[in-house]
Structure 1
């Protein structure tokens, strides 16, 4: 199809945000639907109908049912949602020349007319938005050092065409097992891998100041408003896509609820931002009424209702990657086997905790670690080989 595809990926609890995004995508000229991929949904899920929305589920991916369940157990919600991104884009490219991903908490404010021509002009058929387009002045809330932990690009947006097939396969090759929020391993879900992939596969940065604006880059992209709508005051670019990180309609004065301190001053000091937040809140509240109370995450507990911890996910992931057949916590018929496996692998959980601790000590106390290696080389070597897990930068 000549019309580009647009998609977003989320758990069902975020559905009101995805429906708000779909409404703005339709409002600003996209004739095709927004593909809403629900990581915890099924074709039997009771979902609201909305013009311009097409639902997609894990059963529609080129994975077996068991592979989906393994991913859902290996990863937490955010890790799972970001891990399947290249697969969803691959599926959409089977029927479309271009495919664009948007985070569910993004919101269009004008037509994104730059996307298709900029993607076509890119050398590798990959379009990404950097967090920053200018050097950051000292003293602000966010700095360039932040990018060392989260990556250069904000993967709340990306675009690909069919030339990116090799990149998507490479990206999935990493995300299948290492789409982790693990600072000690140098990983931040899908984003840090793209820092590498952008070079290997010739990705192009979208240097439009109005695309993927968020609380993290408002210092270089202050928002204004005129008769034509919202714009970026520093560049004159029209605001295209605003990224609402952790926006909560129950806290009406905040721009984001993710920060360690209040963000209300960012709204109080800028009428345009406050107007945009009020507009978004009005739309979200309408969608929340349509969807109803958010359901619990389907893969947050096992079939008996027991909460699944990150440590247990880690142990499960390690076992599956070693080739073991592990009972699924989400299959009721395997409930007893799962309980037995969980109890039997307490030592594995402990070893993996020790691995993480050892990595942290190695990073925090490099001189002391080197001295220990010199004094006890055999012990250090055996510990590294038998205890420390090879993930991320530890390969």
Structure 2
């Protein structure tokens, strides 16, 4: 079988570029490949103040082929992470027009050895999709998290994924869901792109990569202990090597903490292990060196409207609810629509109030089960009216 053409890509805002450059350098060193970087806060490949000689292929959001108003609508209704994850299937589909395999790597991953298994594993998949789950074994007592974490965020860690042209239907299906419901919303059973792929992986026959050396992170390193040797890093007790480490919530200024998000957990002391500490220090040095090649990182341009006002999450939610219902709404990032946006925002709090009331109704439905059944039997019209006006059809309530 001929060797397929392969593209490696990532998605990020400009302020995360030092980590992406560290990834790019590791990818070039181990795979001889050039990383494709989609900047979500650049409308074109030149819409930035970055050096021209960066060792990456830079893309702006125009590469996605979406209408500009649609893109700005997404940056209005979504926070940074939500937007960055929502557009992934569109990016993968566009890249598959020019290459046979696409592998996505989160910008805070780091390639430690050649990822020689990936192409063959993707080819062996039934549906042209290759994923990694958070864990490969049942969690022992004392693990950083429990299985409930997977119930919340999804089975697969989509900081890695492989796709080929057999997956086009799956990407279209994923995009239809992420276009409006790529949100962090536990009450509605949603967690950006990951929870949807729990369904999509089964529907479209994804393959789970069982290699212990991929997407290793602070959460699963307990089941994949590392040892350093002259070649790099080996997985202890396995005939496998560390290929890709995921430095989730890692601060290169504080490499002694594997993750600032887990500083209250025993995992923050993982760097007491000399092998983990060496890897963390190697990565921190790479990120800091890349930072020196870049100008100061700008603030995410879609955090504020044209008047400099921060856009609260609740306002984004109200905009999403109204726009999805078909309303033609002003955009906060266009100067010519600034007054219309200001007027809409004042009125939007009615929608916010209704949404919060719906959240209260959902919470009552989940926690007050017997009482809900009683009220539903006694006052069916009331319950039906509350559901129709306030609960909506998002996520698990659809």
Please report the TM-score for the alignment, with normalisation by the length of structure 2: 0.96
CA contact (8 A) 2:253 2:284 kept: no
2:342 equivalent to 1:342: no
Residue equivalent to 1:38: 39
1:194 aligned to which of 184, 197, 215: 197
- Specify the SS of the correspondent of 1:305: coil
Write the distance in 2 (CA, Å) between the matches of 1:88 and 1:341.
32
CA drift at 1:145: 1.9
Unaligned runs of 5+ in 2: none
Instruction: Give the match for residue 282 of structure 1.
Output: 285
Q: Quote the Cα distance in structure 2 between the aligned partners of 1:18 and 1:143.
A: 30
Alignment of 1:72-111 (within 5 A): 72-111=75-114
1:213 partnered with 2:216 = yes
Measure how far apart 1:50 and its partner are.
4.5
In structure 2, the partner of 1:10 is 12
Q: How many residues align?
A: 393
1:183 is aligned to 2:186: yes
8 A contact 2:50–2:295 mirrored in 1 = no
Q: Describe the superposition over 1:183-210 as per-residue Cα deviations: whole angstroms up to 9, x where unpaired.
A: 0111110001111011110000011100
Q: Where do 4+ consecutive residues of structure 1 move more than 3 Å? A: 49-52
Secondary structure (helix, strand or coil) at the match of 2:221 reads: coil
1:51-66 correspondence runs (5 A): 52-66=55-69
Partner of 1:23: 25
CA distance in 1 between counterparts of 2:314 and 2:268 reads 36
Which residue of the partner structure matches residue 267 of structure 1? 271
Alpha-carbon contact 1:220-1:234 (below 8 Å) kept: no
1:296-315 maps to which residues of 2 (within 5 A)?
A: 296-315=299-318
RMSD of aligned C-alpha atoms?
1.3
Deviation (angstroms), 1:361: 2.2
Measured after TM superposition, the shift of residue 377 of structure 1 is 1.8
Deviation of 1:46 (Å): 1.5
Residues of 2 paired with 1:57 and 1:17: CA distance? 18
Distance in 2, Cα, partners of 1:157 & 1:93: 17
TM-score (norm 1): 0.97
Superposition pairs of residues 129-140 of structure 1, within 5 angstroms: 129-140=132-143
1:228 corresponds to: 231
Go from structure 1 to structure 2 and tell me whether the alpha carbon gap of 1:382 and 1:165 turns closer, same or farther (over 3 Å shift): same
3-state secondary structure, aligned to 1:258: helix
Other structure's SS at 1:219 match? helix
Q: Distance in 2 between matches of 1:113 and 1:175?
A: 31
Residue 78 of structure 2 contacts residue 183 of structure 2 at CA under 8 Å; is this kept in 1? yes
Equivalent residues of 2:103, 2:162 under 8 A apart: yes
CA distance in 1, matches of 2:218, 2:53: 29
CA contact (8 A) 1:351 1:387 kept: yes
Deviations 1:241-288 (A, max 9, x none): 0000011122232100012516441101x1111000000010111111
Residue-by-residue CA offset, 1:11-66 (whole Å, 9 max, x unaligned): 111010111100000000233x2110111113321123455400111111121000
| Structure 1 gaps, min length 5 | none
- d(CA) in 1 for partners of 2:83, 2:70: 12
Equivalent residue number for residue 318 of structure 1: 321
For residues 226 and 165 of structure 1, do their structure 2 counterparts lie closer, same or farther at Cα, with a shift above 3 Å needed? same
- Indicate the residue corresponding to 2:161 in structure 1: 158
Deviations 1:323-382 (A, max 9, x none): 111010000111001000111222111111111222122222222222222232221111
Shift of 1:294: 2.0
